[in-house]
Amino acid sequence: MHSWRELPGAPACGAALCRVADIPDGGAHELRFGSDEEPFRVLLIRRADAVWAYRNCCPHFSIPLNYEPGLFHVFDGEILMCAHHTAMFRVEDGYCYDGPCQGAKLDAIPLQRDGEIVRVA
């Protein structure tokens, strides 16, 4: 299995992703990098001052976790649900605790904060 960093379009270490305020509190925000045909999708989730990032790719069928652009099912800023197969992931670690890919994890993208800017660590 390859690291997400080796995939086409993956953002480089230190790349600025967005401002914290661009991510809705208790919700999610998606960014796309690389080719328009097959972009590398980054999913950012925020709960108050805490921000997590994952590759927007469900481990069940390797498709995005959202069905409609920009619409993610995040519950209480703690649970992310795949819109296609209702797999349930913990926001803190990307672990799937319920659904067809139970036991799998989302590919975490390490972050660093530069004031209000979120960057790839």
* Total tally of structural domains belonging to the chain: 1
Q: What is the pLDDT of residue 1?
A: 55
CATH number at residue 94: 2.102.10.10
Cα 41-83-119 angle, rounded to 5 deg: 30
Beta bridge partners of 88: 81, 98
Tell me the pLDDT tens digit for each residue of 68-108.
999 999 999 999 999 999 999 999 999 999 999 999 999 99
Quote the domain boundaries for residue 71.
4-120
Closest by CA to 44, choosing from 115, 2, 114, 106, is: 106
What share of the chain in percent tops pLDDT 90? 93
Q: What is the pLDDT of residue 2?
A: 73
Please state whether the predicted TM-score (pTM) of the whole model is above 0.85: yes
